[in-house]
A and B are shown apart, each in its own frame.
Chain A
């Protein structure tokens, strides 16, 4: 499978003083895979994700992301990945089109590329009439779809999604997942965290973090079989209950 791996991580660790936020995790993600990254609040998901995006320097271990070394080539990694945070992170006082132009520029797209991408995106999301609307005044569901499209603007090899669907209505949530499915279908690797356990079941494979370690990693079917339960929620609860870290 080498060469087909989008993410490959060995014994990756992050310590803050005497606190080990991420404790020697080892896993890999294949190209085009939808990989769910689950864990309770405080389990170390965000820290791990920040490391993989090149935003936080690991204490020890090894990792390759999008074909680049996490320790020596983090700037190249940043150019080859997309990231969508759980907080709306487009500029609220810019219009949709201005945001696209801004992020397109940051990722080094040509004017021509930005023009064609803008047209494609507005058409695809049925937002032609809203092109000049400030993103501040858009409904949450639209904001999230635009954020995702902007994260995909430079055709990244991997897109990281941090709880992308919190608070949206069930129909929009499914439209959003259809976009994720489609991206994966076209070869983008999707790395996603969520608190919706039914969404976890959309993933090809899942890992569940407990106290900084990966305690389970498999397809949703296999995990349910392994734990002898009917749904992912029960798998999650069984594992997360073992957490010893005092949350504070």
Chain B
């Protein structure tokens, strides 16, 4: 079966003043039908540019891309009928009410809320009490739910969501991902971007992106499995001093703070606990503790950035 999204060797650059910025460098990726696919990367990774090309709002410099088997250049009109797109910036009409925004987008696609109520129901119900409120006066979380309802109103086959959870608190983020799973079960292919590495684990597969390149495409489980070095968690009472001391050690390759622990990789990839302990115990620190741990997506991302 054809992939739902197919991207082959896409390049795109912009002129920013006198500087040429390569926003996408030879990007290739296939997303299967019904997949929940994540683009994981920080600001400037190229996530938004890729969304714009796939939603036919921007032309690539070279390469080819299809959505639902349709070419993003030749068949752009047909693609626009089929995809839903929620941009990173709130793009609804702030001076229209919740209900008016929804009916506006429904009308554009020659449909109605009633026709597709089953699909948007669980999301729309949460904003229904504020139907008569102007969209501009909604809180961040509610704006996001309205935007998602509008992106779904024409029952798209593919949904593009650009950083839907940025700036959203941990609870609302959880709920949002739950909604995405529901939509996936309704058969919609979803491509979603996020700068939060912990959200990668909620996708079927992810592309780790940095500065216009895809560093790796894999299931989140396989991404962490591919971290081949031994990773150590080290703790002590003074974590700032511990970090400085660890980084000053010749045998330490990398030392990154991770909340209440530091994640350390030794030069020569030391796996033996006694050997590792011997190195660290040259540091003067109280309550020094260490143990070997499994890598998180963020460890993997930083390791890939180093390569």
Binding site for B on A (CB under 8 A): 39-42, 86, 137, 139-141, 163, 166-172, 174, 177-178, 181-182, 184-185, 195-202, 220-221, 231-233, 236-237, 240-241, 246-248
Contacts and interface: CB of A to CB of B under 8 A. Distances in A.
B259 A232 contact: yes
Interface string B141-173: 110000000000000000000010011111111
A166 B195 contact: yes
Nearest to B195: A167
A202 B259 contact: yes
Nearest to B262: A174
Interface of B: 16-17, 19, 41-45, 129-130, 133, 138-142, 163, 166-174, 195-198, 210, 239-240, 243, 256-260, 298, 301-302, 305
A195 B167 contact: yes
Contacts of A240: 169-171
B298 A170 contact: yes
Given A139-B44, A167-B43, A196 B171 contact: no
10 contacts: A167-B163, A168-B195, A169-B41, A170-B302, A174-B256, A181-B243, A197-B198, A233-B198, A240-B169, A248-B129
A140 B42 contact: yes
Contacts of B172: 40-41
Nearest to B194: A167
A220 B142 contact: no
B interface, over-half SS: mixed
A163 B170 CA distance: 13
Contacts of A196: 196
Given A139-B44, A170-B298, A202-B259, A236 B171 contact: yes
Nearest to B145: A247
Given A168-B42, A174-B257, A201-B260, A163 B171 contact: no
B42 A41 contact: no
Contacts of A221: 260
Given A41-B169, A139-B44, A247-B142, A169 B257 contact: no
Given A41-B141, A166-B195, A195-B168, 13 more contacts: A41-B168, A137-B17, A139-B43, A167-B195, A169-B305, A197-B198, A201-B258, A202-B239, A202-B257, A233-B170, A236-B169, A240-B170, A248-B138
Contacts of A168: 42-43, 195
A185 B43 CA distance: 29
B133 A195 contact: no
B302 A248 contact: no
B6 to A, nearest CB: 27
B260 A137 contact: no
A237 B139 contact: no
A83 B141 CA distance: 25
- Specify which of B16, B45, B198, B240 lies most central, judged by the most chain A CB atoms within 10 Å of its CB: B240
Nearest to B298: A170
Contacts of B140: 41
